[in-house]
C-alpha cells in the first residue's frame, strides 16, 4: 500500500507507535519507512536519541528512553515524517510540523486529518512555535480525541 499510494497501512503505523505506558511522556514517532540518504533527524536531536548508524540510508531508530519529546527533530525532518505523541487522559497530544500559512493560533479549534487526507475530528491548537532556525516550518501542539491517536496526522484550518 505504501508503494502504490504513499499511505502506510495501519499495521505499519502501529509498528512505529509506543504503548500507552510509554506515551505517558511525549515521545517521537518516526514514520520514516524508506531507505534514503537522509539524517537531519539524527543530527538535530540534542539528546542523541535518534540513531542511523554508519550507513546513511538506514532507517532511523529512536532510543525511547533518551527522547524528551522536545520536538526539534519534528521540524528538522525534510520529509515531515516525525511527530511527537503523548497521552493525557482522554486526549492525545501531538507536536507536528506545519508549513501552511496563515498559521493557526493557540486556542483555535481546527479539523483533524488522517493519512488519507480525510477529516476525522475536531481538535484544539495548544501552542504554535516558530524557531529561528526553521522560519517556515512551525511546530504546532494539538489536542486530539484519544480514539484517533493512530489516525491523526495533521490539521486543516
Give the binding site for ligand SF4 (CB under 6 A).
Answer: 28, 30, 32, 38-41, 45, 47, 49-50, 60, 62, 67-73, 77, 79, 81-82, 84
CB of 84 to ligand SF4, least distance (A): 5
CB of 141 to ligand SF4, least distance (A): 12
Nearer to ligand SF4, 24 or 147 (CB): 24
CB of 82 to ligand SF4, least distance (A): 5
State whether residue 131 is helix, strand or coil.
coil
Please name which of 30, 156, 149 lies closest in space to residue 88, comparing C-alpha atoms.
149
Nearer to ligand SF4, 73 or 120 (CB): 73
CB of 67 to ligand SF4, least distance (A): 3
The pair phi, psi for residue 61, each rounded to 5°, is: -120, 140
Nearer to ligand SF4, 77 or 144 (CB): 77
Distances (CA, A) of 121 to 130, 151, 155: 25, 10, 10
CB of 65 to ligand SF4, least distance (A): 11
Nearer to ligand SF4, 80 or 146 (CB): 80
State the DSSP code for 73. Answer: H
State the DSSP code for 105. Answer: -
Nearer to ligand SF4, 95 or 120 (CB): 95
Task: Return the bridge partners of 129, or none.
Answer: 139
Q: Tally the C-alpha atoms within 13 A of residue 135's C-alpha that lie toward its C-beta.
A: 1
As a whole number of angstroms, the distance between CA 145 and CA 119 comes to 13
Amino acid at each position: 500500500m505504501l508503494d502504490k499510494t504513499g499511505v502506510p497501512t495501519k499495521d505499519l503505523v502501529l509498528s512505529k507507535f509506543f504503548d500507552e505506558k510509554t506515551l505517558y511522556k511525549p515521545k517521537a514517532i518516526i514514520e520514516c519507512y524508506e531507505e534514503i540518504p537522509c539524517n537531519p533527524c539524527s543530527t538535530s536531536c540534542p539528546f542523541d536519541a535518534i540513531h542511523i548508524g554508519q550507513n546513511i540510508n538506514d532507517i532511523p531508530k529512536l532510543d525511547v528512553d533518551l527522547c524528551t519529546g522536545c520536538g526539534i527533530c519534528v521540524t528538522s525532518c525534510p520529509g515531515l515524517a516525525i511527530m511527537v505523541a503523548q497521552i493525557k487522559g482522554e486526549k492525545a497530544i501531538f507536536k507536528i510540523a506545519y508549513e501552511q500559512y496563515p498559521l493557526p493560533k493557540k486556542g483555535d479549534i481546527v479539523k483533524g486529518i488522517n493519512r488519507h487526507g480525510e477529516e476525522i475530528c475536531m481538535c484544539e491548537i495548544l501552542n504554535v512555535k516558530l524557531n529561528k532556525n526553521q522560519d517556515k516550518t512551525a511546530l504546532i501542539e494539538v489536542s486530539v480525541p484519544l480514539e484517533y491517536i493512530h489516525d491523526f496526522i495533521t490539521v486543516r484550518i
